[in-house]
Amino acid sequence: MHNMENILAFIYEYKEPIFAIILSVFLGIEVISHVPAVLHTPLMSGANAIHGVVIIGAIIVMGHAESTSSMILGFVAVVLGTLNVVGGFVVTDRMLEMFKKKKK
């Protein structure tokens, strides 16, 4: 029961940021669902650039890590950011392949 009180206290203390995150998730889903296919590739390229910056930030955090948990968290951030960038490039490449003329 003591754990539930801690969770509720955390939610009450950080209700504005939690609300902003939930709202941004719904807003992001709504915006992305209405993006035309023609704009998908340029938006993916922009997202890849942003995630490249995230990877650099995670590497910097790992370099300044003072505890094992910080190092593990930084490593997980680098791995997930890298997977996101690679996946974005794969999707972008597949989208660009769709627009190329087929050889006869």
**Spans of all domains in the chain:** 1-34, 37-104
Find the radius of gyration of the CA atoms of the chain.
19
Q: Does 67 have pLDDT greater than 70?
A: yes
Phi, psi of 57 (to 5 degrees): -60, -40
Structural tokens at position 30? 């709504």
- 104, pLDDT greater than 70: no
35 by DSSP, 3-state: which?
coil
Token readout for 81 is: 């950011």
Least confident stretch, 23-32, 55-64, 87-96: 87-96
User: Which residues, at least 6 apart from 52, have a Cβ–Cβ distance to it below 8 Å?
Assistant: 85
| Region of residue 35 (phi > 0: left; psi between -120 and 50: alpha; otherwise: beta) | beta
